[in-house]
Amino acid sequence: MNLRDLRYLLAIAEHGHFGQAAEACGVSQPTLSVQVRKLEALLGVTLFERGGRGAVPTDACQRLIGHVRVAVAEADAILQTARSLRDPLAGRFRLGIIPTLAPYLLPLVFAPLREAMPALEIEPWEDQTASLLAGLREHALDAALLATEPDGPDLDHTCLFDEPFLAALPPEHRLACRDRIGEEDLASDILVLADGHCLREQALAVCGLSTALGGPLRASSLATLLNMVAAGYGTTLIPALASGPAEDAGIVLRPLVREASRTVRIVWRARFPRREAVEAVGRIVAQRLRGFAASGATGSSTKTGSSTKTGSSTKM
């Protein structure tokens, strides 16, 4: 039994016709027919009912085809993994991203990443920090973009850029007339994300709070917070990359007096064999953010840099 014959079987089952399957596989119909008959002889069962209208899988084929699909998929995975080991910038690369970063960063970096590394198939995975760290440790992810420093010697990280926090205010808010906002002035009505989001803890820490005072709202997304601020429900802190959607919603943005920020870093397993891919992705993200900040698009400078295991999570 060989992999080629199993692919022929799947092609016939998909197309329901020997001729169309042969064309899809790039071989002649007699060649495909001969190989399938050899496979049938090896297995000791008839796989297809041949007729003038095509080929219909037999009951035996229906019972075997699930195993065939698994075998072919596993073989393809072996080939893909071997290819990525030969070329670390090729093959699948599963990249986790926190929810307060993903919708604003991905549109900026996805095209440059694809252009710089066309053979690298980046699969974004958006989730909270704890889930992304678990994904890394369980080998479900290859790297993750986080805004907190990971713990444990099993993970390495490189700092990519510092992203300032901005005060987000309703236009009629009493603080909206100020050029800069004192962090403690936001404490009375600040809105924060639900538990599990690192931005929640960072926002509370910036304002010197242990818990939110701005009502019972515990939003699961930054978009919800922005909508509530736009409706006059309270204030919040946002990372600078989210300034565009905030301004579009009519929200007033102001820098903070102490210029608090968060450090975005790329994190990976210390023994991950494709470190070159991690470093390449991190380098392009940092370069793209450097250009974005230089254009003034965030409304506040975003500092970029690179250091391993030396950055702080949030500067206050």
Sequence ranges of the domains in the chain = 3-86, 91-160+262-297+307-315, 162-255
How does the average pLDDT of the chain come out, rounded? 85
Looking at residue 316, its pLDDT comes to: 39
Using the predicted structure, report yes or no on whether residue 297 has a pLDDT greater than 70.
no
Percent of the chain at pLDDT exceeding 70: 87
* pLDDT reported for residue 80: 72
At position 151, the amino acid (one-letter code) is D
What is the reported pLDDT for 281? 97
pLDDT digits (tens, 9 = 90+) for 43-87: 999 999 988 778 999 999 999 999 999 999 888 878 877 777 788
Where residue 26 falls (left for φ over 0; alpha for ψ -120 to 50; beta otherwise) is left
Burial status of residue 254 (CB atoms within 10 A of its CB: 0-12, 13-18, 19 or more): buried
Statement: the pTM of the whole predicted model exceeds 0.75: no
pLDDT of residue 309: 37
CATH number of 162-255: 3.40.190.10
Q: Which of 137-141, 232-236, 283-287 has the highest mean pLDDT?
A: 283-287
Alpha-carbon distance of 215 to 196, in angstroms, equals: 18
221 pLDDT more than 50: yes
Question: Quick one: pLDDT at residue 310?
Answer: 33
Confidence of residue 313 (pLDDT cuts 50, 70, 90): very low
pLDDT digits (tens, 9 = 90+) for 83-107: 777 888 988 899 999 999 999 999 9
Cα 290 to Cα 228, 245, 256, 276, 297, distances in angstroms? 31, 20, 21, 21, 11
Q: Tell me the two tokens of residue 276.
A: 């070159």
Q: Quick one: pLDDT at residue 315?
A: 45
CATH of domain 3-86: 1.10.10.10
- What integer pLDDT is reported at residue 79 of this predicted model? 81
Nearest alpha carbon to residue 137 among 150, 120, 119: 150
Which long-range CB contacts under 8 A does 60-69 form with residues at least 24 apart? 61/9, 61/13, 65/9, 65/10, 65/13, 68/6, 68/9, 68/10, 69/10
Residue 112 near residue 158, CB atoms below 8 Å: no
Q: Which CATH architecture has domain 91-160+262-297+307-315?
A: 3-Layer(aba) Sandwich (3.40)
The C-alpha atoms of residue 21 and residue 131 are separated, in whole angstroms, by 43
Give the CA distances from residue 25 to residues 5, 14, 18, 271, in Å, rounded to whole numbers and listed in that order: 11, 12, 10, 39
147-179: per-residue pLDDT in tens?
A: 999 988 999 999 999 999 999 999 999 999 999
- The C-alpha atoms of residue 182 and residue 175 are separated, in whole angstroms, by 9
Cα separation, 157 vs 9, whole angstroms:
46
Domains 91-160+262-297+307-315 and 162-255 share a fold: yes
